[in-house]
Amino acid sequence: MGGNIVLSWLLFPEDFGFLVPVNVFLLGLQLFSDIGIGPSIVRSERGEDPVFLRTVWTFQVFRGVFLYLVCLALAGPYARWMGDVVTESGIHEQEIIYRLLLVSGLSALFLGLRSPHWFTVDRRIAQGRKTLILVLSQGISVSVMIFLAWLWRSPMAMVVGGVTGAFCQSLLSHILLPGVHMAFRLEKEALRELFGFGRWIFLSTAIFFLASQVDRIMVSQLLELGPRGLYRIAMVIAALVPTVLSPLSNTVVFPTWMESFRKQRNDHAQRVRRSRRALIAVAMSGMIGVIVVSPFFFTMLYPERFHGAAVIAQLLCIPFWFETLMASATSALLVHGDSKVLPSANFLVLLFKAPACWFGFQWFGLEGFILGIAVGNIPGLLRMHLRLQKHGTPLLRQDVESTLMLLALGGGGYFISSYAENLGGWSGIVLGGLTALGLTAFTLRPAYSLYLKKA
């Protein structure tokens, strides 16, 4: 977030707008070839076996090389599909996107070299060194972005910074994470287990890409570069909560639930509800904080050309809320080894989100488009809840109650924030700050209560 603020003073909304289609393309490469390597290592009885891990790493390396070759082959057609808009400087948008893709695709290549011990630490629920690697690689990445943005004044700076972060992450994973050294190895039994569990993950993530990114694809076609850049900046702020909690759900919550399911299956559903209630409380607190603080945040820290992103960030909290609920519901399903339901859930999201976004944009503009994203997520979430009910882990009531609370408290916080913004000066800032502090502290109570019980 800090790097994002600094970059906004060095670059323009148009520069950020170029990254929307680029990030969609790269995420599509990753998800269309994902077979659930991480969950497979966490779930497998051979998750600590050197032969199994070396086989996984070998497949992962080949996959990274393949992804970059695909990137080289498809970058040109994809850039031409984006259109032939000419920027104010006279450069064709498709030319810039093509160059960005050729460089950013290296991230897939470098991440393919990452050690599989990246996931064994999730299995052991030992996140210390992994967190250190994330902090170091992210710090290096942001530093490179800022330096090159100051030097080049080009969106290429953000792409090179991202590739640098991927390279550092892979390198440090081999240096800092404990475990056997990697070497090329292919074992039939390990591959059979990997693809046996991962075939449904592959189908699910392929559909998940279309379901989760269809709004970004549509934004790239519906909005010009400037508004598209504001949309991306707003997404960075609104996505702070799911950016933190989704990996937490995968690397901490899922392994913890997996251990609970193995050892105390009778009490598993109750444990899931209790810990998920705390997770939801943290998510709600963060979302409300973003809704209340966004206007002051953008006004005080961003140049005026980015102030329009504040309202977009507030609205984006609604669809991101449902994505956060879906992330934890997915972890609850994978504990039961039920990856089969995920493709159908994601297909429902795709089926409803695309028309909801389109009609929302036609009727109410960008605000209606964002609300369409939220509406589109609901059918997929309901599909997950129906399957969880069959597994004896009912979570629907929990989600309904928490969503109603978010709408009530978030709506109240929004109106108070708008009033405080109109007040202006320090009185408005103080009112907005006190509102954010009071509402976030109130919603954090379940998480704090769980912490006290454990202490």
Q: Is there a single domain that holds both residue 346 and residue 446? A: yes
User: Which of 250-259, 267-276, 390-399, 400-409 is the least confident region?
Assistant: 250-259
Q: Is there a single domain that holds both residue 287 and residue 196? A: no
What would the pLDDT profile of 16-57 be if each residue is shown by its tens digit?
888 888 888 888 777 665 556 766 776 667 767 788 888 888
Confidence band, pLDDT 50/70/90 cuts, at residue 88: low
User: Which of 87-96, 287-296, 403-412, 423-432 is the least confident region?
Assistant: 87-96
Residue that wins the pLDDT comparison between 1 and 228: 228
349 occurs within a structural domain: yes
User: What's at 410, amino acid-wise?
Assistant: G
Q: How many CB atoms lie within 10 A of CB 18?
A: 26
Structure tokens at 424: 């202006």
Sequential DSSP letters for 405-423: HHHHHHHHHHHHHHHHHHH
Domain boundary among 212, 247, 279: 212
24 occurs within a structural domain: yes
Position 141 scores a pLDDT of 94
Q: Is there a single domain that holds both residue 184 and residue 255? A: no
Structure tokens at 187: 């074992």
Position 455 scores a pLDDT of 44
**Measuring CA to CA, how many Å separate 226 from each of 52, 85, 229?**
48, 12, 5
294 occurs within a structural domain: yes
Structure tokens at 315: 């609205």
Q: pTM of this prediction?
A: 0.81
Q: Is there a single domain that holds both residue 12 and residue 72? A: yes
- Domain holding 384, by residue range, is 239-455
Position 84 scores a pLDDT of 61
Q: Is there a single domain that holds both residue 10 and residue 157? A: yes
Structure tokens at 141: 């990445």
First to last CA, the chain: 32
Mean pLDDT on 179-206:
72
Q: Is there a single domain that holds both residue 207 and residue 315? A: no
What would the pLDDT profile of 228-286 be if each residue is shown by its tens digit?
899 999 998 888 888 877 777 766 777 778 777 877 777 788 888 888 888 899 899 99
Residue that wins the pLDDT comparison between 37 and 374: 374
Q: Does 146 have pLDDT greater than 90?
A: yes
Q: Does 197 have pLDDT greater than 70?
A: no
Euclidean distance between CA atoms 339 and 70, whole angstroms:
27
Among residues 160, 149, 169, 164, the alpha carbon closest in space to that of 3 is found at 149
Q: Does 90 have pLDDT greater than 60?
A: no
Q: Is there a single domain that holds both residue 282 and residue 347? A: yes
Q: Is there a single domain that holds both residue 251 and residue 165? A: no
What mean pLDDT, rounded, does the chain reach?
84
Mean pLDDT on 310-329:
92
Structure tokens at 135: 């902090």
User: How many domains does the chain fold into?
Assistant: 2
User: Which of 293-302, 341-350, 406-415, 429-438 is the least confident region?
Assistant: 341-350
Residue that wins the pLDDT comparison between 327 and 146: 146
Q: Does 303 have pLDDT greater than 80?
A: yes
Q: Is there a single domain that holds both residue 19 and residue 148? A: yes
Q: Is there a single domain that holds both residue 397 and residue 450? A: yes
Q: Are 410 and 317 in contact (CB under 8 A)?
A: yes
Percent of the chain at pLDDT > 90 equals 36
Position 198 scores a pLDDT of 53
Mean pLDDT on 199-221:
75
Q: Look up tokens 């379901």; give the residue.
A: 211
221 occurs within a structural domain: no
330 occurs within a structural domain: yes
69 occurs within a structural domain: yes
Q: Is there a single domain that holds both residue 249 and residue 125? A: no
Q: Is there a single domain that holds both residue 375 and residue 412? A: yes
Sign of CA dihedral 251, 253, 254, 257: positive
